[in-house]
Structure 1
């Protein structure tokens, strides 16, 4: 059943060993570095119960109300519902949050598609993944992802250095496996559980490797230690309106001989399963991730256009061209998301995947062009985003009059609104938080080279080969492949279906 914000807060209070800025955190829900983002996650839970959001945020499954984000996608409408629910959340909190669960549960659906791979080594593993997917739907936990290990010296195999550089199994017991090592996990310190799996690394060439392990980790388990990076939330809210509300704290989670019950083990000593999950990990989750890029694009457009309109520069053709570039970037993301749903594909387990070629192409374009779009937005906002004094200086009795004079533009744009907009733009584009988010976007769903690898694996090259074979008159000895890419085939099927509908309607008339 859907949880409340209070139930969520209660679930993460307790005996966790959490450290940040050289101090041990006694209550993660109250600490200033964590409280803003915990409050947002609690707000999302509470939205599910409120009449204004209930029908958007939840769905009925077997007579119970469950979160739309956790629902297994089986139809196009499921994906439209998920997209609408995410937009509703981002609009309600007035910003972008990425690691809140809906973008991570999809990684488990990828493993659900690989149940035959899991069953090769132990049918219980296939049953475990199905059990956990439905458990997430029923219990509505805050579910995050654990991927990246410290890795150590990458020129060496993990067996040739400190073995803890990659998470690994140290022993088996009747109760489960015992693991050691460490993982970087965004939001782990204030989440409930993590889908923990191998990183993109050489965990060994043996068919049965202790590094090839995947499991669900209860983040209240004994033996876990959470060592967090410094947060951005402690800054002055008036000067950093995004950093102080939306910082999602990254954590080095230490696994010090942590017991993972057998029912939580999804694969173990199975390099084929590890390879499969790495190759298909973002089959579903990339959609929610790219959707956040769309909202970031909206924020850049809004900040840049407000700044241009304040001084009348939006009338200049050069400014309009730069605004149009931002609009093209935004609509490129929108088009890929929309087409990925419209041309969705069945998965091996009977779920409905966003069109893989279009989704991964959209992700690559959204991430690879983000830094360029941020620079265009900086240009349109002007140099004042890096030279404007802070809010306290605007209020100081000896400087207030001067700043009101020089920052007021007209009766519509007075100094306080001008300062607020510049602070927003600075935090979005120029601050430590802005730099962190840019880096996060580049690596949160794997590094850029892997984005292109996913495109390469999912684009059907047969269509262009077949077309050129025919156009160039190549002999049958040349294997041109099948006619059309998956997207092409889906387009033809979609429009042929519409033609049939049109024909039926005309006949009826």
Structure 2
């Protein structure tokens, strides 16, 4: 089934318990701080039915069944190229960047699909459950997100040595399923249908079994869930002044699990710390691709804003400006190269899927995230100081002040005050606003902190190739080579 936007909207009007700014949200689809992003997600569903987009967003299998192309299991390079086109198609149509909308979060399920052998060590039913839920995600088309980070508490202590609810855990088993308690921070949870909920990085010690080592599909219509949301950016100021904040804010929530029943058919692994550790190590094997692809789109946004700003006054003729633009282009193309190469050099996964080349993809993620703040500052330089001193739209439209705004913000016949104001507002919201700071932090930590990004590169890089070359080039003994390779285990 390919859902419509209306079907999606109806599905999240389920009486869920949502709070924002100390008030209960009665309808997440109409609340002013949720409505913009909810409308974008509904638009994405409707795009799948429209002739202009259908061939880029919908997949038809050998049986004639249709499903979202972004949610299909990847088996070939062509599958990945099509997924990349699908993501760009959506971002181009909605006019901005939205991240936690399904194509990125579904990849975590594929990582679990690769771990079926490990799940079988715990309980063969768990592997059957993951196959069922991967199929359900493809053909029922739910809005599927990700639940990862717990409040954690005092991280120098084991969770058992403090308030045990600081990490989500199982409190008891029943015939119907497991009962879980704790909390998770989740982007988009308040307006999604379900989440793959899994353990954060935990200190298992030498324990083989732990009530904290649990992963499951959480249905957000569960009556014992509470969604405590941060204040949204939408509606704080006119959309003309903050065009990105008012349209693309993806609201996070602290989701409280107050003794929530998880049916056994939704449990993907439980108690076995080996399974939990495997999932943590391979979690972003696929999802990093869609995540990094957003950085490429953000680079395009920065380049466009900077280039318009310097060309409207002729500054692009200066060598120093051209060098800064070229630096932005190198950042953008560096991301593009890693994404492209990771598919060109794709590898078969343990579960028989095709995964992006892990060393190239994880190195690309480090590049995209670690240099983003530098590129944002470079774009500020190219846009100039007026992005932080330009008055708001009301000043441009007030009869008393409008003539002055027209005089001092018009440059030539092409660049009149209104276009100039729009560009400066766009750049300000992308680079300087509360939303801009939030997005920068989100890109840095959304999948993992920087040290974990580098750890993923360390785990996936082919160290043996460099060792073998130096062993031959320097005439080292075979024993030295084997000892060196042993350090990679």
TM bin, normalised by shorter chain, reads over 0.9
Is 2:243 the partner of 1:222? no
Check the 8 A contact 1:304/1:381 in 2, yes or no: yes
**Which one of the candidate residues 382, 394, 403 is aligned to 2:384?**
382
Check the 8 A contact 1:466/1:480 in 2, yes or no: no
Secondary structure of the 1:257 match is strand
Q: 1:428 is matched with which residue?
A: 430
Deviations 1:254-276 (A, max 9, x none): 00000000000000001000000
Deviations 1:342-390 (A, max 9, x none): 1100001110000000000000010000000000000000000000000
Give, in angstroms, the shift of residue 480 of structure 1: 5.7
Deviations 1:112-148 (A, max 9, x none): 1010100001000011001100011110000000000
Q: Distance in 1 between matches of 2:387 and 2:304?
A: 15
Q: 2:284 is matched with which residue?
A: 282
Q: 1:34 is matched with which residue?
A: 34
Q: Distance in 2 between matches of 1:47 and 1:243?
A: 23
Secondary structure of the 2:481 match is coil
Q: 1:366 is matched with which residue?
A: 368
Q: 1:353 is matched with which residue?
A: 355
The total of aligned residue pairs comes to 483
Q: 1:145 is matched with which residue?
A: 146
Secondary structure of the 1:314 match is helix
Deviations 1:30-56 (A, max 9, x none): 000100000000000000000111110
Q: How does 1:26-425 map to 2 (within 5 A)?
A: 26-61=26-61, 62-203=63-204, 205-234=206-235, 235-425=237-427
Secondary structure of the 2:268 match is strand
Give, in angstroms, the shift of residue 205 of structure 1: 4.0
Secondary structure of the 1:98 match is coil
Q: Distance in 1 between matches of 2:184 and 2:447?
A: 15
Q: 2:6 is matched with which residue?
A: 6
Check the 8 A contact 1:172/1:178 in 2, yes or no: yes
Flag as ranges the 4+ runs of structure 1 deviating above 3 A.
Answer: 480-483
Deviations 1:255-311 (A, max 9, x none): 000000000000000100000000000000000000000000000000000000011
What RMSD in Å do the two structures reach over aligned CA positions? Answer: 1.1
**Which one of the candidate residues 451, 454, 474 is aligned to 1:452?**
454
Give, in angstroms, the shift of residue 21 of structure 1: 1.0
Q: Distance in 2 between matches of 1:313 and 1:23?
A: 50
Check the 8 A contact 1:462/1:480 in 2, yes or no: no
Secondary structure of the 1:212 match is strand
Q: Distance in 1 between matches of 2:220 and 2:174?
A: 20
Q: Distance in 1 between matches of 2:141 and 2:215?
A: 21
5+ residue gaps, structure 1: 484-509
Deviations 1:49-74 (A, max 9, x none): 00111110001022111000110000
Q: Distance in 2 between matches of 1:404 and 1:193?
A: 50
Q: Distance in 2 between matches of 1:72 and 1:185?
A: 24
5+ residue gaps, structure 2: none
